[in-house]
Structure 1
């Protein structure tokens, strides 16, 4: 029983085809492409409004040099949001519960922000490793601490997304199993458990959206330090 709870986080295959590849490609099929017409339908208009508003909010604290990342950050936000929301449907697989996928997204993007900072403003980028006004005896220790914190950033990005989604999915499955077990014995308690499950599902929908936003927001903050 204990192992079956974690089976949902294993990458499934069907006829030899890894379904994680299908899950990664599927979100792009859901979004309609804007047409060349003067007036679009309501769905495309709402989609364009959301993308424009989020892009403005995300790029507001960034310098003009960081605005080149608008397409990457917005695409990443929609991609993570779609994967997180689709993973809440029954009989689906959530790719963002895999640490390898999240680290594969976090490490290259974080490394790109560091390389941009070292290329464009090396003095300011290296200055982040040592706060101004540090006493001389503490300089080696602070440099080591700041360097470790710099390399922990991509790990924190990937682990945060993985841990939040994994914990939410596991808790939903535990409460759902408890509701089915209690139904023949204590129907009233089972109904209360199902109510808690419904509220938890709503909370998990909010967590799925917030975690996608936090991932992109932290990445934009890392970019802000290096542009």
Structure 2
């Protein structure tokens, strides 16, 4: 039972090639397109509006004159994660963001880039974050150790948060859908009631998919803002 339950998170392979890499191309195929004409199409206008809305959300935690160069990167990251999370809710699809290896592969380079950027451009400010102002001198070594550990735990927290939330939602949907099939054969009324619960859970998971992509990108933005 455990094997069949968690087998939905196994990365599918075809001709010895991982299809998870193909799934990563979905946002690029959906949103990156060229068009002829002055104003473009309705879909391109909708895409531009969505990207501008995400960019405005990314811009809020950062200073306007210092963080402008990073807005496109983090808005694109947010759009990619939201798209992958939502597409993974459809039948016969695969969600790459349920893989801890992929999430850590995104979190570690982004986090490390913010740390390197801070120590390169503002080393004094970066080191000052390790010890709060006005801390007692005997507690300084312990505070520095705790702050250092908390900084190194950030990429792990980013990856685990995204993986755990999506995995838990997919498992719950799988269990309830199995219960619908079982209960329908016993009682149509009971099966219909659980089916309504499944529909509501699916809507909740769609919201979670969007929120988790938003939280991931915003947290990286906040880490960068500390080092700007």
Question: Shorter chain as normaliser: what TM range?
Answer: over 0.9
Partner residue of 1:104?
105
CA distance in 2 between partners of 1:75 and 1:57 (Å): 12
Partner residue of 2:22?
22
CA distance in 2 between partners of 1:140 and 1:182 (Å): 60
* Number of residue equivalences: 227
CA distance in 1 between partners of 2:32 and 2:43 (Å): 8
Offset at residue 70 of structure 1 (A): 1.6
CA distance in 2 between partners of 1:36 and 1:118 (Å): 45
Structure 2, unpaired ranges of 5+: none
CA contact (8 A) 2:54 2:78 kept: no
Offset at residue 128 of structure 1 (A): 0.5
Secondary structure at the aligned position of 2:94 is classed as coil
Partner residue of 1:8?
8
1:84-138 alpha-carbon deviations (Å, 9 max, x no partner) = 0110010111100000000000000000000111011111111011000001111
Offset at residue 33 of structure 1 (A): 2.4
Secondary structure at the aligned position of 2:133 is classed as coil
4+ aligned runs moved over 6 Å, structure 1: none
Q: Does 1:85 align with 2:107?
A: no
> Relative to structure 2, which stretch is displaced further, 43-52 or 141-150?
43-52
CA distance in 2 between partners of 1:167 and 1:99 (Å): 13
Offset at residue 75 of structure 1 (A): 1.5
> Relative to structure 2, which stretch is displaced further, 149-158 or 47-56?
47-56
Partner residue of 2:196?
195
Offset at residue 179 of structure 1 (A): 0.7
CA distance in 2 between partners of 1:160 and 1:60 (Å): 22
Q: Does 1:159 align with 2:164?
A: no
